[in-house]
Amino acid sequence: MNSRLSFAHAAIALAIAAFLALFLVVPVITVVYVAFTNSDGSLTLSHFFSFFHLTLMREAFYNSLYVGGMSVLISSIIALPLAYFTVRFQFRGAILIQTLGVLPLIMPPFVGAAAMQLLFGRSGSVNLLLNEWFGFSIPFMDGLNGVIFVEALHYFPFILLNLVAALANIDSAMEESAQNLGASGWRLFRRIVFPLAMPGYLAGAALVFLKVFDDVGTPLVLNVTNILAAQAYLRITSIGIDDPIGYVASVIMVIAAVVALWGSTWVMRGRDYATLQRGGSSLARRRLKPWQALWAYGWIVLVLLVVLAPHLGILLLSFSKVWSYSILPDTYTLDNYVTVFRDSSGMMVNTLLYCGIAAGLDVILGIAIAYLILRTKLPARQWLDFIATAAIAIPGVVLGIGYLRTFKDFQLPFTDEPFTAFWLIIAIAYTVRRLPYALRSCMAALQQLHVSLEEAAENLGATKNRTIYRVVVPLMAGGILAGFVTSFLTAAVELSATIMLVTAQSDAPMSYGIYLYMQSIAGRGPGAALGVIAVITVGLGTYFSNRLIRNHAASRDAQLLKTGV
């Protein structure tokens, strides 16, 4: 009995390992291999020398680091006060901040980039007004500034949400004992609160850096090509799949991502600061003095306005006929939507199909990996988690290049179509890229499930499979749903891998369609319309799934607390 069960577990583990090897490990290793070998297969560093010999590549390298670093800095400046207000003070803005935190996530940065150009560009609305009233303008959107500005506005929630979670986890006894020993005010914050929240901040900062480094759509829409992701994409698509410089750029991107992730955990090694004790309470919330409230609300309103700018901009753009060199569009129309529904409904169907497949596979893989890790004693099972999670560090462009190279000679059976041109490869790329999120959800859900709930079922006569079917999966439903929705929605706005893997217009999903439209001035209107449709879909999806999950969770929170021995 037991050996048969272990055999089934091992078979599932091997199947998952094979999938991850084929679609994550091998493609990435291929990219690294090509970057370090001559065409005859001998090892070499010459590609790296030629890479750094090219002025454009050196510039791209420094620019990528600069944009990544500056985006983290600007994101922090936006997020820190917001996080602090939410956790420390009693005021109605808290719920606003939480909402604000989710908002930018539902629209990818490249969608809003064009609208930001119109609002904040050299001849955009804001600068037109500034020029008219004060006679000067601010180069928000010039060159790299534009990329940094858009990315920071978009990704600061990663820092905000992580920081809020970290601050909320600090036990009030930590702060009270410091006060009891004589610390207060700024010293208290600097010596106790901030260090305790540091892991949360660093996790968020590393994620922002990673996302910015990975983003190829925003710079391209803003016409910035001298950064690494854009160069990797351009070298491979214009010079060809054999151009080693594109591979060197890819390897550097992977290294930067790994260093950022590893660095953030290395700095915090051995400092697991989850301090909230059982029965403990979070930091006390203080009442704001009137002048403090004024400052807080002022900052929030300002941030809110800027954060919503791309959303409002894209909405305006989608209804505009012509919009240039003016504060607001000159004429309004519904034509853009008509165009989009006429020409691009296939893309919407594609998005649903690819993301549905990806999210479905992700939760199946997520449940299986979580179960193998937490409920079996299979040797080396941790590696499944490790490899699946490592996908976070692989930029979409790199994964795309890896697929193109690895499967370039692979034909689909029964047809002459190359595998790299088959639409399923896009869905597989989404699956691999979003697996870490779904896996985290499933792991968390299974971890919360006390093992005695399963043992009770077995004790009453249910076999392992019956127990999974009747107890494990129903109780994980909230986590599974959360994983599905996160995977689905984030895949729906994925562009980095998409841009590498779309070979035919008919196979393109919405994200690619938006990007294509945004390439031409005339296409901006329909592009914006498609963007609005995508944002509304993603937004509604997030809202309803959140409600569903919350209802689901509320009904058993109390129970889980009681059984959580």
Binding residues for other proteins, rule: CB under 8 A, are: 1-2, 450, 452-453, 455-463, 466, 470-471, 474-475, 555-556, 558-560, 562-565
Do 395 and 25 contact (CB within 8 A), yes or no? Answer: no
- Compute the CA torsion angle 33, 34, 38, 44 (nearest 10 deg): -50
Taking the CA of residue 183 as centre, how many other CA atoms within 13 Å lie in the half-sphere pointing to its CB?
Answer: 13
* Least spacing, CB of residue 148 vs other proteins, in Å: 47
* Least spacing, CB of residue 479 vs other proteins, in Å: 13
* Least spacing, CB of residue 449 vs other proteins, in Å: 10
Q: Which is nearer to other proteins, 387 or 473 (CB)?
A: 473
* Least spacing, CB of residue 372 vs other proteins, in Å: 19
Nearest to 393 by CA among 206, 235, 153: 206
Q: How far is residue 295's CA from residue 364's CA, in Å, rounded to a whole number?
A: 48
Cα distances (angstroms) measured from residue 136 to each of 127, 130, 143, 259, 328: 8, 6, 19, 41, 19
Cα distances (angstroms) measured from residue 388 to each of 6, 261, 406, 470, 548: 22, 15, 19, 27, 27
Q: How far is residue 350's CA from residue 559's CA, in Å, rounded to a whole number?
A: 41
Do 536 and 543 contact (CB within 8 A), yes or no? Answer: no
* Least spacing, CB of residue 140 vs other proteins, in Å: 52
Cα distances (angstroms) measured from residue 503 to each of 45, 346, 398, 400: 32, 15, 17, 12
Q: Which is nearer to other proteins, 342 or 562 (CB)?
A: 562
Q: Which is nearer to other proteins, 43 or 561 (CB)?
A: 561
| Residue labelled with tokens 């692989």 | 394
Q: Which is nearer to other proteins, 478 or 526 (CB)?
A: 478
* Least spacing, CB of residue 556 vs other proteins, in Å: 4
* Least spacing, CB of residue 557 vs other proteins, in Å: 8
Q: Which two tokens stand for residue 60?
A: 């791209």
* Least spacing, CB of residue 483 vs other proteins, in Å: 18
Q: Which is nearer to other proteins, 504 or 565 (CB)?
A: 565
Nearest to 475 by CA among 383, 394, 370: 370
* Least spacing, CB of residue 382 vs other proteins, in Å: 17
Q: Which is nearer to other proteins, 449 or 514 (CB)?
A: 449
Q: How far is residue 15's CA from residue 365's CA, in Å, rounded to a whole number?
A: 10
Q: How far is residue 367's CA from residue 356's CA, in Å, rounded to a whole number?
A: 17
Q: Which is nearer to other proteins, 90 or 452 (CB)?
A: 452
3-class SS at 237?
Answer: helix
Q: Which is nearer to other proteins, 522 or 558 (CB)?
A: 558
Q: Which is nearer to other proteins, 411 or 452 (CB)?
A: 452
Q: Which is nearer to other proteins, 192 or 453 (CB)?
A: 453
Q: How far is residue 102's CA from residue 164's CA, in Å, rounded to a whole number?
A: 13
* Least spacing, CB of residue 85 vs other proteins, in Å: 34
Q: How far is residue 361's CA from residue 428's CA, in Å, rounded to a whole number?
A: 9
